[in-house]
Amino acid sequence: MIEDIINIYYDPILKYCRSALNGDHTAAEDVTQEVFIALHKKMKKLTIDKNIKLWLYRAADFEIKKYIHKHPAYVSIDELTEDELPRTEENYDPLLNDSLSCLSDEERNLLTDYYTCDDRISVAKKYNLSLDLLYVRIHRIRRRLADNLNNIV
């Protein structure tokens, strides 16, 4: 029974996860696996009927959110737009500079170090943070910058 469900729904769930995770195939495979592991664990409690498809997509949404929560900085610098980069002489923009005014000096320095240094572990150590906490801080700073920029515009 579970093999039939996997054969029917594995590819659509994988495509859904890949789309939700910005095309990251590896992350999508991990999340899809978690969906079917959850299905296997709950198989005895579930009533297999027409709603299995809905259950799988809901489980995928849950696993996607869980994955993003565990990997808050999973967006690579190559995927960032120019507006999200810290100020340099090449990308100076007064509007962007105004949006940085909502940050403390330490936050600006952290952001600059994060995007200019290849070794994230050394950046975390420099600011006495774990690597996970560094990613969380960067994620929060970026969110605040985006909110501030939306308020300026």
Q: What is the pLDDT of residues 94-144, one digit of tens each?
A: 444 456 677 888 888 888 888 787 788 888 999 998 888 888 888 888 888
The pLDDT value recorded for residue 131 is 84
C-alpha neighbours within 13 Å on the C-beta side of residue 80: 14
Q: Does residue 65 sit in the same domain as residue 6?
A: yes
C-alpha–C-alpha distance, residues 137 and 111, integer Å: 9
pLDDT tens for each residue of 13-71 = 999 998 888 888 888 999 999 999 998 888 877 766 667 888 889 899 999 888 888 87
The pLDDT value recorded for residue 63 is 92
Domain of 140? Answer: 77-152
Proportion of the chain above pLDDT 70, given as a percent: 75
C-alpha–C-alpha distance, residues 19 and 22, integer Å: 5
Q: Does residue 100 sit in the same domain as residue 148?
A: yes
Contact 134, 127 (CB under 8 A): yes
Residue type, 82: E
Domain with residue 143: its CATH number is 1.10.10
Would you tell me how many other CB atoms lie within 10 Å of the CB of residue 16? 20
Q: Does residue 61 sit in the same domain as residue 102?
A: no
DSSP 8-state symbol, 91: T
User: Which tokens belong to 88?
Assistant: 């340099």
| Boundary residue ending a domain (37, 52, 70) | 70
The answer, yes or no, to whether residue 84 has pLDDT greater than 60, is no
Q: Does residue 6 sit in the same domain as residue 64?
A: yes
